[in-house]
Amino acid sequence: MTKMIAALLAGAATLAVTASAQAEADGEAVYNQACMACHMTGAAGAPIRGDEAAWAPRVEKGIDTLYTHAIEGFNAMPPKGGQMGLSDEEVKAAVDFMVEPVI
């Protein structure tokens, strides 16, 4: 019984650490690392951060669609901007950072 309790406590601690790490995703840092090359220059049609006209039709589709496109890839953009080591939460934080100036 004590082994089972210890295992449950260890599992709960792991979940707490994982949730904490995910909650602290730094959208600006992820943008600078993985998104900026295209979203600062407009490469391959990527909307530039702060460009209301470019973001408007995308934002109209809803944030969940933006998250899905960023995570799974869309048109010329590969999944997670080609940075497959990023968590979904990190990608979402970067999306939030990119659309923040236009919403």
Query: Residue 77's beta-bridge partner residues?
Result: 74
Which pLDDT band, with edges at 50, 70 and 90, does 24 fall under? confident
Q: Please, which pLDDT band fits residue 11 given cuts at 50, 70 and 90?
A: low
pLDDT band for position 38 (50/70/90)? very high
Distance CA 82, CA 25 (A): 18
The band of 22, judged by pLDDT with boundaries at 50, 70 and 90, is: low
Closest CA to 92 of 38, 6, 1, 26: 26
Average pLDDT over residues 84-98: 98
CATH number given to 26-102: 1.10.760.10
- Whole-structure pTM value: 0.77
Domain positions in the chain? 26-102
Q: Are the C-beta atoms of 58 and 75 separated by less than 8 Å? A: no
